[in-house]
A and B are shown apart, each in its own frame.
Chain A
Amino acid sequence: MAQARTPMFRSIAAHAVLITYTVIALFPVFVIVINSFKSRRAIFAEPLALPTRETFDLIGYTTVLKQGDFFQYFLNSMTVTLGSLFFVLLFGAMAAFALSEYRFRGNTLMGLYLALGIMIPIRLGTVAILQLMVASGLVNTLTALVLVYTAQGLPLAVFILSEFMRQVSDDLKNAGRIDGLSEYRIFFTLVLPLVRPAMATVGVFTMIPIWNDLWFPLILAPAEEVKTITLGSQVFIGQFVTNWNAVLAALSLAIVPVLVLYLVFSRQLIRGITAGAVK
């Protein structure tokens, strides 16, 4: 009897802790979203109440969509994030394949060189990066951001992906070689599809900081037409600080895309991390 009760009690305690923390984690998001659907008076009168028929109001969303260049910002963020993600995954996988597949002089050294960037943040080079972008005329372009984020994402991508590529069976690759496939074909048609879960892991870890970054958009691309959504909503909050409906609606809209991207990738995320930990 006592033995049956203890695991039960333990499981309830575990759920209690986890539920408490889940509430803490989600509460602020919940506050933003419910209030974005309420009228201005209701936001102040009862900030924690759900919108009812009397207090439901879409004025915030209409303001944002009419007034702000929100759509443009969103598009800019999307371009920068997906562009950087594409280059990080492609270049990272190529380099990881070279490092994990071939033995050549300087292999280890090259691996260490690329791994440096995991520990040393690219931000510390900002002063010179800005000078470089000014000199090459790339200031206030999305290209500048894509370049910076590609460089930023590569070290971790190479590091994680080469761990995974070592696990791809040699027999498979050698069979391909006997069939006369070129090294490029082996990489693109045999190895890449096999490391998809790892690509998803790298994708999530690369994408989130890029989408949310404020530092480089602030310094490299502050112009109106190239603003990212993070910088755009920051400015928006500053300008419309009295228009609470609009600010809350803007914030709710800014949550949606990254949440969708995360949910798309996340199924593979845990599998990727776990597989990486198991040697």
Chain B
Amino acid sequence: MIRRRPVRWHIAVFLAPAVAVYTAIMIIPLFATLNLSLYNVAGDNRVFVGLANFATLFGDARWSASFWNALGNNAWFFLVHMLVQNPIGVLLAALLSSPRLRMAAFYRTAIFIPTILSFVIVGFVWKLILSPIWGIAPGMLDFVGLKGLFAPWLGKEAYALTTLALVSVWQFVGIPMMLIYAALLSIPDEVLEAAEMDGITGASQFWKIRLPLILPSIGIISILTFVGNFNAFDLIYVAQGALAGPNYATDILGTFLYRTFFGFQLQLGDPHMGATIATAMFGIILVGVCIYLFGIQTRLRRYQF
């Protein structure tokens, strides 16, 4: 006798709302956007143009100059985060996780506070601090006798992007710090005690024992940084406006997409070229994620305790 298993409706009920909202608002629009990049407007009609929009974006001098500029800037923006934000995050987490440290909770909260602030606040306050007119930065540099070093960092083409990247580092250093801190706390005491038995303590304990154990977390932080940076927009928009001045020196893919899609000043918004840029960004992020998943994640050794 075969008993038919009852249909387990509750599984569908539990899954349905999440899957429905996620599919309708995220997945379908994502693919609709990719699809939109294959069309363009001719007269009043929408026509299928294949990859012509991409040819325009990469090849047409009016578009490609902006695109490659934005991409290059974005790569630099990412590099600064990797070289400054993540090492500082690891250092702070390593200090915080030492067992006898007092006031750890206070430091943790204080250092995390910039992360919860909105870009509007962050962009504005750093513009104020670095402004030559209001002059907290020049005043402070003067105080330590280094006034000669001051320059209007946000206004000079050569410095503006790096300055904004550092502001972004300042804001988000709390995230790698928290994740690494959690990873460090989760290392079992026995492992550390065994290391101490073997005479491995202090800094060498960090390099030889703890660092290898938190490498997977560092990998995850790197890919999160990558996705976040190649999707960034708000800070540049708030600090420098949609034109990402001075002279597009701070233009990244996010601001480029906004300008193209939404239009600014005399240029009209162009959804098809906007979709094309979004698709290019999608491709870049996808390549990065795949490199991480197949190239790095699989090679990291997992430790079982």
Residue ranges of A at the interface with B (Cβ–Cβ < 8 Å) = 7, 10-11, 14-15, 17-18, 21-22, 24-26, 28-29, 31-32, 44, 47-48, 87, 90-92, 94-95, 97-99, 102, 104, 110, 113-114, 116-117, 119-129, 131-132, 147-148, 150-152, 154-155, 158, 182-184, 187, 208, 211-215, 219, 229-230, 233-234, 237, 247, 251, 254-255, 258-259, 262-263, 266, 269-270, 273-274, 276-278
| Alpha-carbon separation in the docked complex, A241 to B258 (Å) | 24
* B282-A25 in contact (CB<8A): no
Q: Quick check: which of B60-68, B71-79, B90-98 contacts chain A, the rest being far away?
A: B90-98
Q: In the complex the two chains form, is A270's CB within 8 Å of B118's CB?
A: no
The 7 closest A-B pairs by CB, nearest first: A128-B32, A125-B29, A151-B25, A95-B18, A98-B14, A128-B29, A212-B118
B124 pairs with A125, CB closer than 8 A: no
| Cβ contact within 8 Å between B21 and A147 | yes
A258 and B233: CB pair below 8 A?
Answer: no
User: Is B22 in contact with A114, judged by CB distance below 8 angstroms?
Assistant: yes
Is B185's CB within 8 Å of the partner chain A?
yes
Q: Do the beta carbons of B121 and A127 come within 8 Å of each other?
A: no
> What is the total of A-B residue contacts with beta carbons within 8 Å?
247
Interfacial residues, chain B to chain A (CB-CB below 8 A): 8, 10-11, 13-15, 17-19, 21-22, 24-30, 32-33, 36, 88, 91-92, 95-96, 98, 100-101, 103, 106-122, 124-126, 128-129, 134-136, 139, 170, 173, 178-179, 181-183, 185-186, 202, 217, 223, 227, 231, 233-234, 237-238, 254, 257-258, 261-262, 271, 274-275, 278-279, 281-282, 285-286, 289
Least Cβ–Cβ distance between B58 and chain A, in angstroms: 18
Query: Chain B's nearest CB lies how many Å from the CB of A80?
Result: 13
Contact of B183 among A17, A255, A277 (CB under 8 A): A277
Q: How far is the CA of A150 from the CA of B129 in the complex (A)?
A: 36
B271 x A127 contact (CB < 8 A): yes
- A residues in contact with B279, CB < 8 Å: 124
Q: A94-B15, A212-B118, A266-B109 are in contact. List 20 more A-B contacts (CB 8 A).
A: A21-B88, A31-B128, A31-B136, A48-B139, A90-B17, A91-B17, A94-B13, A94-B14, A104-B8, A114-B18, A117-B27, A124-B285, A126-B29, A126-B33, A147-B21, A150-B21, A151-B21, A154-B18, A215-B233, A234-B238
Contact A274 B185 (CB under 8 A): yes
Tell me how far the C-beta of A47 lies from the nearest C-beta in chain B, rounded to whole angstroms: 5
Contact B125 A32 (CB under 8 A): yes
In the complex, which residues of chain B have a beta carbon less than 8 angstroms from the beta carbon of A274? 182, 185-186
Interfacial chain A residues near B91, Cβ < 8 Å: 17
Residue pair B114, A251 in contact (C-beta under 8 Å): no
Contacting residues, chain B, for A31 (C-beta < 8 A): 125, 128-129, 136
CB-CB < 8 A to A47: which residues of B?
134-136, 139
Summarize B's interface: helix, strand, loop or mixed: helix
- Cβ B262 vs Cβ A25 within 8 A: no
Most chain B CB inside 10 Å of its own CB: which residue of A21, A122, A131: A21
A110 to B20, CA, bound (A): 12
Bound together, the chains give a CA A114 to CA B16 distance in angstroms of 12
B230 (CB) vs chain A CBs: closest residue? A121
Known contacts A94-B17, A237-B124, A258-B116: A125-B108 contact under CB 8 Å: no
- Minimum CB distance partner of A48 in chain B: B136
Nearest B-chain residue to A157, judged by Cβ: B18
> Residues of B contacting A113 with CB < 8 Å?
19
Inter-subunit contact A208/B36 (CB<8 Å): no
* Distance A122 CA – B227 CA, assembled complex (angstroms): 11
A125 touches B118 (CB 8 A): no
A-chain residues with CB within 8 Å of residue B179 when the two chains form the complex = 273
B15 CB contacts on chain A under 8 angstroms: 94-95, 98-99, 110
Provide the bound-state CA to CA distance between A10 and B203, in Å: 11
| CA A123 to CA B178, docked complex, whole Å | 25
Taking the closest CB of chain A, its distance from the CB of B167, in whole angstroms, is 9
Q: Chain A residue with minimal CB distance to B262?
A: A219
A26 to B21, CA, bound (A): 38
Q: Shortest beta-carbon distance, B3 to chain A, in Å?
A: 18
B96 to chain A, nearest CB (A): 7
Q: Do A158 and B18 form a contact, CB below 8 Å, given A184-B10, A211-B118?
A: yes
- Hey, which chain A residues are within 8 Å of B237, CB to CB? 214
Closest Cβ of chain B to A209, distance in Å, is 10
Question: How far does the alpha carbon of A68 sit from the alpha carbon of B273 in the complex, in Å?
Answer: 37
Given A110-B19, A208-B115, verify A128-B33 contact (CB < 8 Å): yes
Partner pick for A24 among B170, B178, B186, B223, CB 8 A cutoff: B170
A25–B103 Cα gap in the complex (Å)? Answer: 16
Determine the chain A residues whose CB is within 8 A of the CB of B202 once the complex forms.
10
- Given contacts A158-B18, A266-B109, A120 and B271 within 8 Å (CB-CB): no
